[in-house]
Amino acid sequence: MCGRTACTLAPDEVSRASSYRNRGGRRRQPRWKDGDADKYRPSYNKSPQSTSPVLLSRRHFDKEAPEDECVLAAMRWGLVPSWFREKDPSKMQYSTNNCRSENILQKKTYKDPMNKGQRCVILADGFYEWKKQEKAKQPFFIYFPQTEEKTKQDDKSQASCSPEEASPELTEKEDASGEWTGWKLLTMAGVFDCWTPPGGVEPLYTYSVITVNASPNLQSIHHRMPAILNGDEEVRRWLDFGEVKAVDALKLLESKNNLTFHPVSSLVNNSRNNSPECLQPVDLNSKKEPKPTASSKMMASWLKSSAPTKRKEADTSESKEEKKSKSEGGLQRASKKSRTT
């Protein structure tokens, strides 16, 4: 299951951090769909119905675009099917935040967009998950190990480096060649759809995060996890709907034991809390600060070095539409019956 994420990069940083390889193996930096960079807002605590950066084939917007060219778009979390007839998407009677990979081709809500090739990659610093305990649930932040970042100057994995050795290099956003070396974004497989409200108003693009059984190292936290696309080739094949059909693309969605995690404060439990403290590691056995790991030191350095003034403004500002959506979602949540996890 995936019910909360974080994506703290500014729009231009998301573009640099989400470079991809085309069919010929050439690395490309995606551009934002017209106007969408302004719709996306960085956040330490993203909940369903908020807007996230999504990578997808440009052919979904421009039929004349090269088959392997990608574009960034800002989409709302919680898929609204194109055939939905109500005027207000918050009136949907079931949750579409997540969809199971096992039955995605059996449910009309997801089957139709999958057969149309409407596959996407949801980008995030990581996602939150809550572990059930006797008294209260403990939140964890889950993400790609940052010590595995590679640069063209040093192609060796930094997984074996100590935190003191790894952190100086990891504070840089780009290497000498211009390749991104900042925070490695999590790439989650998703399916999207385009819904046009009655009356011909601007179409709304929305997505669902596809889930699979949890990997062995995450099973103690939760039995489900987002389907992770690991590496350029998996991302390329998932997005290349012209070359890779739905049934073959679904074979990419397996439980992968390639994520790391750390416990975080219960501050994240309230989606209105939106600050760096949501991501900070906590020690469950002590009131003292936990001993830093290479990944947690990377996170601390990254948060300090990434335009705090600009980010603060972006994090604390919500559009009227987002505030209304969250409010309506809260009222509807009690009456909705979830059909997916």
- Rounded CA-CA distance 235/176 in Å is 25
Element (H, E) at 210: strand 204-213
- Rounded CA-CA distance 127/140 in Å is 8
pLDDT at position 93, please?
A: 81
pLDDT at position 250, please?
A: 96
pLDDT at position 302, please?
A: 56
Could you give the residue ranges of the DSSP H alpha helices within 265-340?
Answer: 294-305, 308-316, 320-333
In angstroms, the first-to-last Cα distance of the chain is: 5
Concerning whether 67 is annotated as a catalytic residue, the answer is no
pLDDT at position 212, please?
A: 97
pLDDT at position 153, please?
A: 31
pLDDT at position 24, please?
A: 87
Average pLDDT, 10 consecutive residues per value, the chain (341 residues) = 90 95 90 95 95 97 92 97 86 90 94 96 97 90 76 32 30 60 95 88 94 94 95 95 94 93 94 94 69 57 49 44 44 40 47
Residues 6+ apart with CB under 8 A from 228: 186, 187, 188, 189, 256, 258, 259
pLDDT at position 175, please?
A: 55
Per DSSP, the three-state class of 309 is helix
Instruction: Give the chain's domains with CATH numbers.
Output: 5-152+166-333 (3.90.1680.10)
Pairing of strands 51-57, 119-124: antiparallel
**Measured in whole angstroms, how far is the alpha carbon of residue 51 from the centre of its chain?**
10
CB 144 within 8 A of CB 6: no
Number of H-type helices and E-type strands within the chain:
9, 15
Going across the sheet that includes 43-46, the strands are 43-46, 5-7, 126-131, 138-143, 260-263
Q: How many CB atoms neighbour CB 115 within 10 A?
A: 13
Concerning whether 2 is annotated as a catalytic residue, the answer is yes
pLDDT at position 91, please?
A: 79
From 7, 120, 129, 149, active-site residue: 129
